[in-house]
Amino acid sequence: MWANLLSAAVAACTPALVLAEVFSLSNLEWTLKNQNGSIVIPATIPSQAHLDLAKAGIITEPLLGINDFTERWVVNDNWTYTADLTPITKSFESRESQKALLVFYGLDTIANITVAGHPVAWVDNQFQQYVYDVTDLLASPLEHNNNVTVAFESAWYYGMNASSRPDAEYSPTPDFEYAEVRQFIRKTQSDFGWDWGPAFVPSGIFKPAYLVTLSESSSHSTTPASHPLLSSESGSIFIEESSLEISKVGQTPISTPDQGADWLVNVTLSVRSLTASEHPTITISIPELHLTSQPLSVGSIPASTKSPTLVSASFRVSDSIPERWFTHDLGDPKLYNFTITLSLPSGRSAQTASFTLRSGFRTIELLQTPYSQEDVQTRGITPGDQWHFSINGKTFFTKGTNIIPFDPFYARMTSDQVGWVLESAVKSGQNMLRVWGGGIYQPSDELTGVYDFYSACDELGILAWSEMIFSDATYPVDSWLLDSIDPEVRQNVRRINKHPSNAQWAGGNEIEGIVITINQTLPNGTHYLDEFVELFGDFLHDITFQEESSVAYTDCSTTSGVLSLDPYVIRFDNKTPGFIYGNSERYNYDASQAFNYSTYPVARFVNEFGFHSMPSFYSWEEVLLSPEDFSFNSTVVMSRDHHPPAGSLAWPNPNAPQGQGQMTMAVEAWLPTPGTSDSNQTFAQWCWSTQVFQSLNMVSEIAWYRRGAGLGENNLGALVWQLNDIWQGVSWSSVEYSGRWKVLNYGMANIYTPVVVYPFWTPDNQTLEVLVTSDKWEPVSGTAQLTWYTWAGKVLESSTHHFTVPSLNNSVIFQGQGLDTILPSGHDAEDVWMLLNLTAKVDGETITHEQYFTPVSLAEANLVEPSVTLTHSEDFTFTVAAKTGVAAWTWLDHPSGTVGYFTDATTGSPLNGFYLIPGIERTVKFVSSQALSKVANPDPADFVVRSVWNNTHL
């Protein structure tokens, strides 16, 4: 959408700069060259060096084969982007009434900028936007040089230089590939490698860039622009930043808002202007609500294009007027248009800039205060602190995943690709995504950020837990680094403030636990703990408060909680035994413990837990180049397993056998071991089986954490690690790089259903407990049916159980101990399994849910050949049936080149990876993404079906 608006704006501009108010630098002819000039090729922006090199045929697609290794030479060179500005400056003459601003929304990362031969700036922060007045430089080019040049230095070499300084602080933390440099560079931390992705260390003008001209003689538009950038069409005003924060009157990030209080709509603008005004005003209008404020006085604005001026104004809206924004599962994500008009009276005239933002009315809290004694005594809550979210005054169960960067090369991402991943989260029942702190601050729109993220979250009704970009390392607090971090954080907090989807700010990822360990184990550990407090407990905390963000701040993604919110004091090791504080995470790669509940955390909120799996055979087809590569432990496949990480540039990862072994042992322990006469099928079944185990494991944990909502821990959150993939390789994701759903995404669609039934089996004492769990705000009643089957599909016995589940709680519907009493009489555990069905009325609609219980591992079960058939119609509706036995984990796959998911043809809910029983057909429909599918109309005959039976049978 924004791209179309920009095209229209640029199309209206003539080559003469005096009329070109917003000119996209993407329209210029760019070249890219390396340091010694041996490579000079055409380039584009937004882009990164690898992408332009690939377009020019210098390198092949970086994600192919072993290119993450063979193309490392790109990282070691310096790359310069240059374009001739003549098409838009040939008639430019410097005048007081006309100014030219060079605007970069993102440079990756270490670069010198020159214009017309003049130095403009040296930059070192990927996360900042930069604006420069280049009027005088354009008016007096050196030696007829009319170029804009951005010369990038190798971030790797820059990092090595910075880390080798005598005053550089050593970080006692392990790393991934390009080691010991990233904490000195304000750049995407995973660009240097991570345990789920490659290390390309890209560089380039990776976000849009513009030349904006201001002129008092420009025509004034009376129609509000659809984006602040385009408001510069008004002539003499450039809105460099805009912030819109909606909160309750009197609300702070650490206080519980009065839900009946008026709403406070606060607007902050960063302004550069040709016109000085002693008495400027801001007017706020909400057209759908027929509300317009009076002109609100703000501080004076000087005539300055060299630096911006911040001005703020607030407007009160009665609580009774707007509808509230909720997540998609809790209500309607209602959004409104907010038209912001800045007026600068000067003499008899006034310059104005008017634009529209889209936002919503909601309160979102992160409750971190202690539980009351009444909660402990009457509700049975384990003593300690709360740690959960509340939306519009209502506590809810947070269900979701974590996201990582969507591609190693940010510049080539699209809103369609990201939107599909977000929609996949919504379709699988998620209401929150955690924006992981080792990646990037996600963008708000295409015009400034290449693709849309936060605005899409707003529209879809999914919360985004935001993090600042610090991860898994200790960070020095040198003044030069803090000077760079300060504007980075302020700019991003202001921008993201406007989004009702933003749920909180965390200072970084997993660092609190690291410094606690360092403090306990190293002689100088207190030094690192003190630096952590300075950066994450004070510096970043204070910035979020100063920028009037109404959402909570936490020092870290996983935290011990706080001793005090005002002043902000982190708890660290100051804990009382038996009390529960903060939140938690869980990783256990011993597959024998995958379903051992005693190894799961008893916590208020679990923000990371996962197990890695292979991508599908179809994803491997996108990148493997030789037939011999299609094997579970081939060199190329193993080279894409970065768990545990190499910790150096050693290639292939010398630690990959450990990660491969963990997946292998998991499949061998819980599923029939893949092995057929067809090597490609065997490889495909191995890939898929790792995904089946991953889903089994994560569904078990989610069920456990949801169960905790009704126990002493009052667990109210579960965020799986992770949602998306950055490439085709081993990872913890539920959605593959292409957008193809793994088994886990369907598993989450099942277990994140608002009301679920689940069998909790403890083999040590042979105890089975079946619970119904509900996330609804009102009590839910219904029935559950427990039916025992043989693997041949014969019904052995069935029982019906009525239940009523209180709000955010669970009810036990069956308890049994000892296989002799639990199993159908006369049958062995290897020969039977149980189907669990639930039916309930929720919000006036009937919902259903099903789960499965096998008293032994499927590796030990006496499976029966299912003889599965698959029939189809032309509208991509498929009917699957088993003729002779139960097909455990029946799975439909769509062909290469298509992106989509399967739904129950009756309910429309995602459905795949189910138990197929003889005599009970299943009909599913394939819903494709036309925007992402390279094959728009696949042949239904190319869709395939498999089950665990095919692990050992063709």
Closest CA to 232 of 212, 249, 255: 212
Whether residue 656 lies inside any domain: the answer is: no
Supply the pLDDT for residue 731. 98
Mean pLDDT of the region 604-615 = 98
Supply the pLDDT for residue 233. 66
Tell me the residue range of the domain where 98 lies. 21-211
Q: Is the pLDDT of residue 194 over 70?
A: yes
Beta strands in 138-262 (DSSP E): 147-152, 209-215, 237-248
The domain tally of the chain equals 4
**CATH number reported for the structural domain that contains residue 934 in this entry:** 2.60.40.10
Mean pLDDT of the region 914-928 = 97
Long-range CB pairs of 9-15 (<8 Å, 24+ gap) are: 9/230, 9/233, 13/88, 15/87, 15/88, 15/90, 15/91
Q: Indicate the range of 6-10, 498-502, 820-824, 913-917 predicted with least confidence.
A: 6-10
Mean pLDDT of the region 474-483 = 94
Say if residue 207 is in the same domain as residue 251. no
Whether residue 30 lies inside any domain: the answer is: yes
Q: Is the pLDDT of residue 91 over 80?
A: no
Say if residue 283 is in the same domain as residue 324. yes
Whether residue 164 lies inside any domain: the answer is: yes
Mean pLDDT of the region 611-631 = 97
Say if residue 126 is in the same domain as residue 183. yes
412-423 per-position pLDDT tens digit? 999 999 999 999
Q: Is the pLDDT of residue 2 over 80?
A: no
**pLDDT band at 685; cut points 50, 70, 90:** very high
Supply the pLDDT for residue 14. 31
**pLDDT band at 95; cut points 50, 70, 90:** low
Supply the pLDDT for residue 122. 98
Quote the CA–CA distance of 234 and 213 in Å, as a whole number.
Answer: 11
Say if residue 896 is in the same domain as residue 822. no
Rounded to a whole number of angstroms, the distance between the first and last alpha carbons of the chain is 48
Say if residue 59 is in the same domain as residue 206. yes
The residue annotated as part of the active site, out of 21, 488, 510, 701, is: 510
List the structure tokens of 184.
Answer: 């000195």
Rounded CA Rg of the chain: 29
Supply the pLDDT for residue 740. 98
Q: Is the pLDDT of residue 548 over 90?
A: no
Quote the CA–CA distance of 252 and 690 in Å, as a whole number.
Answer: 46
Whether residue 914 lies inside any domain: the answer is: yes
Whether residue 8 lies inside any domain: the answer is: no
Say if residue 883 is in the same domain as residue 791. no
11-25 per-position pLDDT tens digit? 333 333 333 388 999
Q: Is the pLDDT of residue 533 over 80?
A: yes
CB atoms within 10 A of CB 151: 17
Say if residue 94 is in the same domain as residue 135. yes
List the structure tokens of 718.
Answer: 């579960």
Say if residue 41 is in the same domain as residue 187. yes
Note if the pTM is more than 0.85.
yes
Supply the pLDDT for residue 10. 41
Task: Print the SS3 string covering 42-73.
Answer: EECCCCCHHHHHHHCCCCCCCCCCCHHHHCHH
Whether residue 661 lies inside any domain: the answer is: no
Domain boundary among 359, 394, 419: 359
882-902 per-position pLDDT tens digit? 999 999 999 999 999 999 999
Say if residue 849 is in the same domain as residue 883. no
Say if residue 47 is in the same domain as residue 186. yes
Domain boundary among 179, 211, 243: 211
404-413 per-position pLDDT tens digit? 999 999 999 9
Whether residue 405 lies inside any domain: the answer is: no
Mean pLDDT of the region 544-571 = 95
**What percent of the chain has pLDDT above 70?**
96
**What percent of the chain has pLDDT above 90?**
92
Quote the CA–CA distance of 222 and 343 in Å, as a whole number.
Answer: 12
**pLDDT band at 349; cut points 50, 70, 90:** confident
Quote the CA–CA distance of 216 and 522 in Å, as a whole number.
Answer: 63
Query: 729 — phi, psi (to 5°)?
Result: -165, 180
Whether residue 267 lies inside any domain: the answer is: yes
Domain boundary among 359, 377, 405: 359
Quote the CA–CA distance of 681 and 657 in Å, as a whole number.
Answer: 22
**CATH number reported for the structural domain that contains residue 192 in this entry:** 2.60.120.260
Say if residue 916 is in the same domain as residue 830. no
| Residue 510 among the catalytic residues | yes
CA atoms within 13 A on the CB side of 700: 23
Supply the pLDDT for residue 855. 96
Say if residue 873 is in the same domain as residue 837. no
